[in-house]
Structure 1
Amino acid sequence: MRPVKSVIYKRIPRPDPALIERASQFGVADLHEGLGAVAGRMCLMTPKMQARQEGRRLIGPAITAWNYPGDNLAIHCALEVAQAGDVLVLTNGGGHQGALWGDVACGFAKKQGLAGAVVEGAARDIDAIRELDFPVWSTAISVEHPEKRGPAAVNVPLTVDGVIVEPGDIICADTDGVLVIPQALLRHAVEGAEKRAATEVGIRKRIAAGERPFDIFGFRTAVVEMGIEIKDSTWRDDR
């Protein structure tokens, strides 16, 4: 087995700011659907990744930090290279041992103008973080003491909550979840989200005019084609 190499890369590939601005007009659901069925699923973190404040959103390029289990030296290294608008993406493999994120780091990140933090592992000081009003998502909450010994790696490709995250990938998060958009797919995701949003405007108008979703989406035809029986009775009548 090769030993873990500790390394800090100070720079990341930067995405097009104009595309990020367009993407910021949409939530995770629209961008997820905009990516398509396959890429959308591959880029979506699991429901374990929970928002620690209600109603907060973020979007920005990823600064990645790999932490040894029980240790959070890498997050402090990441804070040294992150720029305003960046999103810290932190992992220790997902274990609860050694809180990766707390209010002190959170306060500094807010002062530096970072967009937020996505943590595969434990966050703590949740009440204080909520008072700071800094967007944080994590897979766990635990106060367990973290060491600061390393090893550590910053701005290297990681797997975070089942999703590959490369430095500079676009992180989108809201109450619905966390989505990782590779730079190569950002334009595709944005254009797909814009098309979906325009379609939904039309659907809402049709519903307001009296149409039913069952007909708008063609479900009535699908039910007939699948041979699903519709009975004007209760299930008790068939006992």
Structure 2
Amino acid sequence: MFIKAPTDNIEIAPPWPRADLDEVKKLAQYPVALIGDAQSRLGMMASPIRPVTPSPRLAGTVLPIHAREGDNLAIHRALDDALPGDILVINANAETNRAVFGDILGEICLAKGVTGIVVDGSIRDVDELAGQGLAVYARGISPAGPWKNGPGRIGFPVACGNIVCNPGDAIIGDNDGIVVIPQHALSDTIERTEAQERTEQKMRDAIHAAV
């Protein structure tokens, strides 16, 4: 861990399977709104969870973190076990007055192959994070820094933006927001999204033909 702090009060789940990244990338070719439509318009995070960096395209698998509001010890500890393709999905209890993620954590993410962060809470160092090329979504922005005392939980299901996110689920983001796809439903969602795209393309063709 980059910082020196005891982590005895951080509960860590056993290793979990992750959604196939090739399938995630295949689905990520489509807009979040289209994927949501293919999921019966379920699984999309609440609108306050918004992109705060200029490159919001995000695709990977959920590494869930439950952090105490205003405290990021669990986030630091989670990065010890992060794998390339993981996306940090952080329940920070919707606290927006104190940030739990900033540019130092961003540097660690890049070193670990984590390219996306979703925080139901606040982040800071927006300009620096943008320069790193990370896709960062959050409920709020605050210059106030975090504590590092814990407690926290890593690898257990969390609520983020009103959606339950299980470890290893697929997660995709764009300028419209975030959609979460249960790991077991990924292949079926790809097929449904492709079918939805064909249906909508027929509608576009019909519109142009009528003009």
TM-score under structure 1 length normalisation = 0.80
Match of 1:24 in 2: 28
* Structure 1 counterpart SS, 2:101: coil
Q: Runs of at least 4 residues of structure 1 off by over 6 A?
A: none
RMSD in angstroms over aligned alpha carbons?
1.6
Q: 1:188 offset after TM fit, Å?
A: 2.4
- What residue identity is the alignment partner of 2:31? G
Q: 1:25-174 counterparts in 2 under 5 A?
A: 25-36=29-40, 40-41=41-42, 43-174=43-174
Classify 1:146/1:55 alpha carbon distance in 2 versus 1 (closer, same or farther; 3 Å).
closer
Q: 1:53 offset after TM fit, Å?
A: 2.2
* Structure 2 counterpart SS, 1:13: coil
Q: Given the alignment of the two structures, is residue 13 of structure 1 paired with residue 17 of structure 2, yes or no? A: yes
Aligned partners of 2:21 and 2:106: how far apart in 1?
Answer: 24
Q: Is the 8 A contact 1:65 1:90 kept in 2?
A: yes
Q: Is the 8 A contact 1:158 1:166 kept in 2?
A: yes
Q: Is the 8 A contact 2:173 2:179 kept in 1?
A: yes
Q: Given the alignment of the two structures, is residue 202 of structure 1 paired with residue 206 of structure 2, yes or no? A: no
Q: Is the 8 A contact 2:21 2:60 kept in 1?
A: no
Q: 1:113 offset after TM fit, Å?
A: 1.7
Match of 2:3 in 1: none
- What residue identity is the alignment partner of 2:187? R
Aligned partners of 2:83 and 2:20: how far apart in 1?
Answer: 15
Higher strand share: 2
- What residue identity is the alignment partner of 2:19? P
Q: Is the 8 A contact 1:52 1:137 kept in 2?
A: yes
Higher helix share: 1
Q: Is the 8 A contact 1:11 1:81 kept in 2?
A: no
* Structure 2 counterpart SS, 1:185: helix
- What residue identity is the alignment partner of 1:16? D
Deviation string for 1:102-130 (max 9, x for gaps)?
Answer: 01111221222213000010000001111
Q: Is the 8 A contact 1:62 1:166 kept in 2?
A: yes
Q: Which has the higher contact order (CA 8 A, sep 6+)?
A: 2
Contiguous gaps of at least 5 residues in structure 2: 1-8
Contiguous gaps of at least 5 residues in structure 1: 212-239
- What residue identity is the alignment partner of 1:86? D
Aligned partners of 2:150 and 2:53: how far apart in 1?
Answer: 29
